[in-house]
Amino acid sequence: MKIAVCIKRVPVMEVKFAITADGSRVDEAGLKYDINDFDLWAIEAALQLKEKNGNVGEVAVISLGPDAASEQIRKALAMGADRGVLLKADSIPADGLAIARALAAEIKEGGYDLVLFGRIAIDSMNQMTGPMVAELLDLPCVTNVFKLDITGTAGRAERALEGATEVVEFPLPAVLTIDDGLNKERLPSLKGIMAAKKKPLDVKPAQLGDAKVTVHKMALPPERAAGRILGDSSAAVPELVRLLQTEAKVL
Amino acid sequence: MANVLVFAEVRGGDLRKVALEAVTAGRALADLSGGGSVHALLAGDVGIGAKAELLAQYGADSVLVLEHAGFAMYNPEALAATVAQQLGSGTYGYALFSATAQGRDLSPRVAAKMGVGLAADLTGFTVDGGTVLGQHFNMNGKVIATLALAGTPALLSVRPAAFQPAAAPRALATTSITSAADPSASRVKVVELKQGNTGKLDLNDAPVIVAGGRGLKAPENFKLCEDLADAFGNAAVGATRAVTDEGWRPHSDQIGQTGRNVSPNLYVAVGISGAIQHLAGMRTSKTIVAINKDKDAPIFKIADYGIVGDVFEIMPALTAAVKAAKAQG
């Protein structure tokens, strides 16, 4: 079984972000980066499928991003993926379709049985690249997958909706976007880290094309005004209810 | 002037509240672009056309009705082909979807089929000389990007609860349409819909959310949250990831980065410390109340009102007080 996993280098979110003086983008100074959480679960899904298959086949990791994204590809290789491809782009466009076109061009001739994405990239929060790639390659696509069974060339998945679940059947080859709940990712072992250094990592320019969606400006959301502590017991409840009625007007 | 095609989301044979929000947002978009028409696309099993009236009540000038047994379940491939075919007729400036699991599955397919731009999960928008400028969260909700969307037609999806349905009655005008692709030939088949929380408000539809965290100590103690939700009468119960990972509550109740994004009028956080991943999913709530025994819990930094104390002592009193307030008023 041949599986491609598309991953993204994203900032670690436990920071206070700043916007550049011209208001055009997030200030990257001091940011740390990692693989997007949902993409880690997609990598894990691919590795488990390969292991279940008697470790036959290949897991390729593809990332579109700057040179530095090779760090994230190496981490995926250390987790157990077999080879990496960096589609080099100095900046990642806001237009999901531009990204999808570049990824589809790379995936097209790969002969993959499955192409996995994380459900959403937590930096751009676009949540569209996976189904766009599927459409460009005319492949079946199931999004938000949190349960997955593959038998031969038939797949059965459960996808998460708001407060409900859909059970979906689909044939392979297919594109899936992986949600939380499918599995927890493994950590790279020391042996894996050593092995990753020798695994192939191709670098080629991303074929992005034109973008119809662009960033007009970036801003930080207004700070929430400091809240009030009303008390330390149920004695504060009457005051809370009064405020919900008269000030917040939600009761 | 630009006409707007609104995709009206159906689940289990019923219109979802987000469909009315989308029609309201579509109405706003048409008005901002010089007063075009709003056409809603309503697809479902035979009989779904009966829901068209409601869409007209919220401002749909006409409703394109697609009735076919092959659309009893979500049928992404045939729907994407049909929406693309309607959009390709050249009469539309925009197509608008709900940024739900269904809308965020369908809209990228349509965008890629047509080679047009998609701005997703917008919380608001303006139109500047034919270009939509839409607000879209980045960085887990910690940054707001204003996206510029060029080209025709342009696609956008709006975040649930960002637009409140507003009545704007139109005379009902429906047009029957057919599927652009054989619905039974779709490769992706939804074979079952498992509705959770049957009969209860969904987290995205509820004006009030009572959410519980590990501070509740045991699954049975979520009764405290359910009782308070019942007292409000218009509330849903949510949970943190810690709680859904423990199996205390279903995964679909999880609020946060890896779960649901919610923005109710009132969010009551019960025994929730406020991990960044949780805050990412609820920080846009209008009013936030936190009840937690740890005064240093990060939840108090974003809460409007806090009580630092024992949830087991405070919750029954709050439930009783809310019941009394509701009874009065």
Determine, for residues A161 and B105 on separate chains, whether the beta-carbon distance falls below 8 Å: no
Q: Mean pLDDT in each 10-residue stretch from start to end of chain B (329 residues)? A: 95 94 97 95 98 97 98 98 95 96 97 98 93 95 95 95 93 97 98 76 86 97 96 93 93 87 94 94 94 96 96 98 89
The residues pairing with B43 across neighbouring beta strands, listed in sequence order, are B66
Cβ within 8 Å of residue A134, ≥6 positions away: A115, A140, A141, A174, A175, B109
Q: What is the DSSP string of B239-292?
A: E-HHHHHTTSS-GGGBBSTTSB----SEEEEES----HHHHHHHTT-SEEEEEE
Show residues of chain A in contact with B251, CB under 8 Å. Answer: 146, 160, 180-181
Chain B residues within an 8 Å CB radius of A180: 241, 251, 254, 258-259
What is the distance between the alpha carbons of residues B212 and B270, in angstroms, rounded to a whole number? 5
Separation in Å, CA of A138 to nearest CA in chain B? 9
Q: Give one DSSP letter per residue of B136-190, joined into a string.
A: EEEGGGTEEEEEEE-SSSEEEEE-TTSS----------EEE---SS-GGG-SSEE
CA B63 to chain centre: 21
Q: What is the mean pLDDT of residues A16-26?
A: 95
Report the b/e string of B117-126 with b at 16+ CB within 10 A: bbbbbbbbbe
Residue B152 CB contacts under 8 Å (≥ 6 apart), including other chains: B2, B93, B116
Task: Report pLDDT digits (tens) over B88-113.
Answer: 988 999 999 999 999 999 999 999 99
**Contact predicate B180/A157, CB 8 Å:** no
Q: Provide the shortest C-alpha distance from residue A50 to chain B (in Å).
A: 23
How many helices (H) and strands (E) chain A has is answered by: 6, 13
Helix locations, chain A, DSSP H: 37-52, 70-79, 96-107, 129-136, 190-196, 237-246
Average pLDDT over residues A62-67: 98
Cis-peptide, bond into residue A173, ω within 30° of zero: yes
Q: What is the per-residue pLDDT for B196?
A: 67
B108 chain-A contacts, CB cut-off 8 A: 96, 100, 128-132, 135
What's the rounded mean pLDDT across residues A54-73?
Answer: 95
- B5-B6-B12 Cα angle (round to 5): 140
The Cα A185–Cα A197 span in angstroms is 20
Residue A209 is predicted with a pLDDT of 81
pTM: 0.90
Amino acid B205: pLDDT: 79
What is the predicted pLDDT for the residue at A162? Answer: 84
Question: Taking CB atoms and an 8 Å limit, are B307 and A13 in contact across chains?
Answer: no
Q: How many Å lie between the alpha carbon of A198 and the closest alpha carbon of chain B?
A: 33
Q: Exposed e or buried b for every residue in A4-27, given b needs 16+ CB within 10 A?
A: bbbbbbbbebeeebebeeeeeebe
How far is residue A89's CA from residue A40's CA, in Å, rounded to a whole number?
A: 21
For residues A125 and A120, what is the distance between their CA atoms, to the nearest angstrom?
6
A vs B: CB pairs below 8 A: 286
Q: Which residues of A touch B313 (CB under 8 A)?
A: 233-234
Burial A71-106 (b: 16+ CB within 10 A, else e): ebbbbbbbbbbbbbbbbbbeebbbbbbbbbbbbbbb
Q: Do B322 and A251 form a contact (C-beta atoms < 8 A)? A: yes
- Is B286 in contact with A224 (CB distance < 8 Å)? no
- Report CA dihedral (B9, B10, B15, B19) to the nearest 10 degrees: 0
In angstroms, the CA B60 to CA B72 distance is 23
Question: How confident is the prediction for chain A on average, in pLDDT?
Answer: 95
* pLDDT at position A180: 76
- Kindly report the nearest CA distance between residue A142 and chain B, in angstroms: 7
Question: In Å, how far is B63's CA from the nearest CA of chain A?
Answer: 25
* DSSP for A61-116, written as a single string: EEEEE-GGGHHHHHHHHHHT--EEEEEE-SS--S-HHHHHHHHHHHHTTS--SEEE
- What is the rounded average pLDDT of the residues A141-155? 95
Name residue A115's beta-bridge partners: A4, A175
Closest alpha carbon within chain A to B194: A165
pLDDT in tens, A172-216: 999 999 987 777 889 999 999 999 999 999 999 999 988 999 999
What span, in angstroms and rounded, lies between the C-alpha atoms of B186 and B73? 12
The helix, strand and coil proportions of chain B, stated in percent and rounded to the nearest 5, come to 35, 30, 35
d(CA B288, CA A149): 40
Classify strands A154-161 and A141-151 as parallel, antiparallel or unpaired: antiparallel
β-pairing, B3-8 with B154-158?
Answer: unpaired
Query: CB-based burial of residue A200 (10 Å sphere; 0-12 exposed, 13-18 middle, 19+ buried)?
Result: exposed
Overall average pLDDT of the A39-53 stretch:
95
DSSP single-letter state for residue A22: T
Confidence of residue A115 (pLDDT cuts 50, 70, 90): very high
Residue A53 pLDDT: 85
| Whether pLDDT at A160 is above 90 | no
With CB atoms and an 8 Å threshold, state whether B187 touches A94: no
- 3-state secondary structure at position A206: coil
Identify all chain A residues contacting B11, using CB atoms and an 8 Å cutoff. Answer: 161, 164
CA B63 – CA B38 distance, rounded (Å): 9
> What number is the ipTM of this complex?
0.94
pLDDT band at A164 (very low <50, low <70, confident <90, very high): confident
Q: Quick one: angle between helices A96-107 and A129-136, nearest 10? A: 50
B11, β-bridge pairs: B14
Question: Using the 8-state DSSP alphabet, how is residue A235 labeled?
Answer: G
Cα A26 to chain centroid distance, Å, stands at 19
| B195 → closest Cβ in A13, A94, A164 | A164
* B235 and B228 Cβ atoms separated by less than 8 Å: yes
Q: Give the closest residue to B274 by CA, choosing from A178, A227, A184, A219.
A: A227
User: Which residue is closest to A23 within chain B, CA to CA?
Assistant: B145
Q: How many CB atoms lie within 10 A of CB B195?
A: 13
SS3 of chain A: helix, strand, coil, percent, to 5: 25, 30, 40
Which of A132, A215, A240 is nearest residue B305 as measured by Cβ atoms? Answer: A240
